[in-house]
Amino acid sequence: EGREYYPIPRGSYPTSTNRSAIFSYDRLATFDAFAFAEWISPKPLLLIAGDDTVTLNYSEMTYRKAKEPKELHLMKDATHVDLLDYRILDILPKLIEFCRMSI
């Protein structure tokens, strides 16, 4: 899905070369993005994920490791790319509600 979305103008960034430096691979392989999820608290955390995405496990892992206040909102029949672009209007009500409660 991402292979089809990111190269098109709608999914790409104009100055991106779509390349990575070889010296960064070891840093990527050893980086643990979830190690500090608990540090987000006491700031509110909203995770929005599609229930039909290959990245759902990352959202669930972050949710488990984070402290309150936190919320995991699943979008039915949505993929990762759906939430980036095609179903953004479906997400807005949840974002507005979360912002109103968190500000």
- In the chain, the amino acid numbered 21 is A
pTM here?
Answer: 0.81
- pLDDT (tens digit per residue) in 9-22: 888 888 888 777 77
Which range (13-22, 47-56, 62-71) has the least confidence?
Answer: 13-22
Q: Which pLDDT band, with edges at 50, 70 and 90, does 70 fall under?
A: very high
Bridge partner list, 50 = 75
User: What single-letter amino acid sits at 20?
Assistant: S
Q: What tens digit of pLDDT does each residue of 33-48 get?
A: 889 999 999 999 999 9
- Using left for φ > 0, alpha for ψ between -120 and 50, and beta otherwise, residue 71 falls in beta
